[in-house]
A and B are shown apart, each in its own frame.
Chain A
Amino acid sequence: MVPTGLGLDLSLRSPDLELSQKSTSLFDSTGKRESFVGFENYRRAFDDPRFWKSLSNSFHYVLGSLILILSLSFMLAVNLQSLPRFWQTPLLFCLIIPGLAMPSVLSTLFYLFFHGKEGALNQYLIIPLGFEPINWMMNPDFIMPSMIMQSVWRWTGLVTMFFLCGLAGVPHWQLEVARMEGLGTWSKIRYLWFPAIRNLILFAGVFLAVEGVASFSGAYVLLGGSGGILDSGLLFITYVYQVAFPGGSGRFDFPTAAAMCFSVAPILAFGLYLILRVRAGPLSR
């Protein structure tokens, strides 16, 4: 069974190999393969300004959500950790719920919360603080922040659980010593808690980055498969979908879409290199 498992594991991903072949060849809509065209499809992808726009959007999306999620989860985990068990478990459970719901559900909820002037966010936060109500989904400056907020809301709970498990690994005597020495909160974070979950932070970071590049569902429902006003919410995968399938622009341009997919591989491989370099706990060998 084990070799079979491995064989399946590898063979199932052979689209990956096929992808490199496909992105340098053309084939017509019947699926019959045509001649090898070298880097023509790559050239077409790279000449496309919307491709670059979508990549840069994805980059901002990933970076913004990474920073917010990791810092927020760390704060939550440290705070949760000092609570008695009786409180810890139900609070953590509630925090994780957004991570379990379907992204399309989350986007539906978000849409209504961000909806025009009447949205809950405007009513509860923006207007009481004395600002003009923001038209979240229509103003190109705010599409990306609202997408990032959605991702933060979704993932923070799960990441907090990972961190909390890591924090539980700090030996009890170390905490005792810290208490007796009268260590301040800041030094405790710096010398005890941060080192305990450094590897986990990296691991969660990589997971979130990959998830962010691949995120499709949320943006698809939020923006109806388009890129939003001025493409300011156009994520990488949404664009690949638009290029390849009739749901988008109807271009049916498989080879270019494949070339686009394959172009992000080096970026991800760089991530791999980083992990191996820093030797993240769960991934190191």
Chain B
Amino acid sequence: MKKFASLIFLLFSVVIATYPFAWMFLSSFKTNDEIYQPTLFLPADYKWDAFISLFNASYLPFLRIFSNSLILSFGQAFLATLISAGAGFYLAKYKFRGRGLVVFLAIFLVLIPKQTLAVPTFDWISWLGWRGSLFSLLLPGAVSGIGVLFFLQVFRRFPQEWIDLARIEGMSPFRTYISLLPLVFPGLMTFFFLHFVLSFQEHLLPLLLLDDENMTLPLALATLKDSSHRIPESVGMAAATLSLLPILIMFSLVFGKMKTALREVTLS
């Protein structure tokens, strides 16, 4: 009986979590009139017009925006994983002066939201003359305080003897790091994925830094649902559905690894 109650509770939560997405997908087939009745679940007629208009770039160069977002997020996630894993490894396994300070700064980075630094970042990027290009977003997103702490925790679990042994054998810290990487593969994948999601969703910095030719998905979604109602709502719904796809695909690939990695980090 108790099992049954808890199953009902869970199923109820799952329905609340997923119902709007099902509604969103089905809404990409609806007319505006149908969308404005939120209790209506199924469309009267399944027409793929909204998706077709996106791919034909009737309102926005959607494919280009989509690939912009993918490139940017992959780049940011790749750089951030590389840098944070390296920093975490070195901080966890080597003693050097100022180590405590660096860890403190990493924690500080976690606590200062990136968005509160939007104004100075904007000024800084303009000063460099990178404003408007995708490249301007790559660098600010390549650093992650939480990543450094995450990998610090991951690498701390390795016995110090391995590092000492590697040193005695004459391996450079870099070689040691590279040879240990396969062991932290779940952690690398997890962090890559989380950072990918975060940069895929980033709204404020692209809004400030990019010009209209180089939009990313969040900006495009906001444009598609602007207040003028010139564009059918179903197009916005279709774009939103498509924006969810790459993340869902990646997530289903990473899901198992993610649980392993999180368990490792939380247990220590």
Binding site for B on A (CB under 8 A): 1-2, 5-6, 8-10, 12-16, 18-19, 22, 31, 75-76, 79-80, 82-83, 87, 89, 91, 93-98, 100-105, 108-109, 112-113, 115, 118-120, 123-124, 153, 156-157, 161-162, 165-166, 168-169, 197, 199-200, 206-207, 210-211, 213-214, 216-217, 220-221, 224, 237, 240-241, 244-245, 247, 254, 257-258, 261, 264-265, 268-269, 271-272, 275-276, 281-283, 285
Given contacts A5-B83, A76-B13, A261-B117, are A97 and B221 in contact (CB under 8 A)?
no
Cα–Cα distance between A24 and B38 once the two chains are bound (Å): 50
Q: How far is the CA of A120 from the CA of B6 in the complex (A)?
A: 25
Taken together as a complex, chains A and B put the C-alpha atoms of A281 and B82 apart, in Å, by 24
B267 at interface, CB cutoff 8 A: yes
Can you list 20 A-B pairs with a CB-CB distance of less than 8 A? A5-B87, A9-B143, A16-B112, A31-B126, A79-B6, A83-B6, A101-B21, A101-B247, A103-B218, A112-B36, A118-B36, A118-B39, A156-B13, A162-B262, A169-B266, A200-B266, A207-B110, A217-B204, A281-B268, A282-B153
Contact between B222 and A16, CB atoms less than 8 A apart: no
Residues of chain B lying within 8 A (CB to CB) of residue A247: 207
A102 touches B23 (CB 8 A): no
- B254 shortest CB reach to chain A, Å: 11
Residue B124, interface by CB 8 Å: yes
Say which residue of A15, A124, A213 sits within 8 Å of B124 (CB atoms): A15
Given A100-B251, A118-B38, A282-B153, A22–B10 Cβ distance below 8 Å? no
Rounded to whole angstroms, the CA-CA distance of A75 and B5 in the bound complex is: 13
Q: Taking the complex as formed, is B107 at the interface, i.e. its CB lies under 8 A from any CB of chain A?
A: yes
Check A76/B10 contact, CB under 8 A, given A165-B259, A217-B201.
yes
Given A214-B114, A283-B107, is A118 in contact with B248 using a C-beta cutoff of 8 Å?
no
Which residue from B116, B207, B227 sits with its C-beta under 8 Å from A240?
Answer: B116
- Asked whether A268 and B10 contact (CB < 8 A) given A10-B105, A153-B16, A161-B262, the answer is no
Min CB gap A238→B, angstroms: 10
Q: Contact: B111 with A102, CB < 8 Å?
A: no
The residues of B with any CB-CB pair to A shorter than 8 Å are 3, 6-7, 9-11, 13-14, 16-18, 20-21, 23-24, 35-39, 82-84, 86-87, 89-90, 102-103, 105-121, 123-124, 126-127, 139-140, 142-143, 146, 148-150, 153, 173-174, 177, 197, 200-201, 203-204, 207-208, 217-218, 221-222, 225, 227, 236-237, 240, 243-244, 247-248, 251-252, 255, 258-259, 262-263, 265-268
Q: Which B residues are in CB contact (< 8 Å) with A240?
A: 116, 118-119
Instruction: Let me know if A79 and B10 touch, CB within 8 A.
Output: yes
Given A1-B86, A10-B105, A31-B123, 20 extra CB contacts under 8 A = A8-B142, A9-B148, A19-B119, A22-B120, A79-B10, A83-B6, A93-B252, A100-B197, A100-B247, A102-B221, A104-B221, A108-B225, A108-B237, A157-B17, A169-B266, A213-B113, A217-B203, A220-B222, A268-B112, A276-B107
Do residues B38 and A112 form an inter-chain contact, with CB atoms below 8 A? yes
- Contact check, B240 vs A15: say whether CB atoms are below 8 A apart: no
CA distance A213 to B114 in the complex (A): 10
Inter-chain contact A118/B37, CB cutoff 8 Å: yes
Q: Is the CB of B87 within 8 A of A6?
A: yes
Instruction: Determine which of A165, A168, A207, A254 lies in contact with B123 in the assembled complex, contact meaning CB atoms within 8 Å.
Output: A254
Interface SS of chain A: helix, strand, loop or mixed?
A: helix
> In the complex the two chains form, is A210's CB within 8 Å of B10's CB?
no
Check A79–B38 contact: CB distance below 8 A: no
A16 touches B120 (CB 8 A): yes
Among the listed A2, A100, A101, A124, which residue makes an inter-chain contact with B39, where contact means beta carbons less than 8 Å apart? A124
Which residues of B lie under 8 Å from residue A104 when comparing CB positions?
Answer: 203, 218, 221-222
User: Would A166 and B266 count as touching, CB distance under 8 A?
Assistant: yes
Residues B140 and A113 in contact, CB atoms below 8 Å apart: no
In whole angstroms, how far apart are the Cα atoms of A103 and B201 in the complex? 7
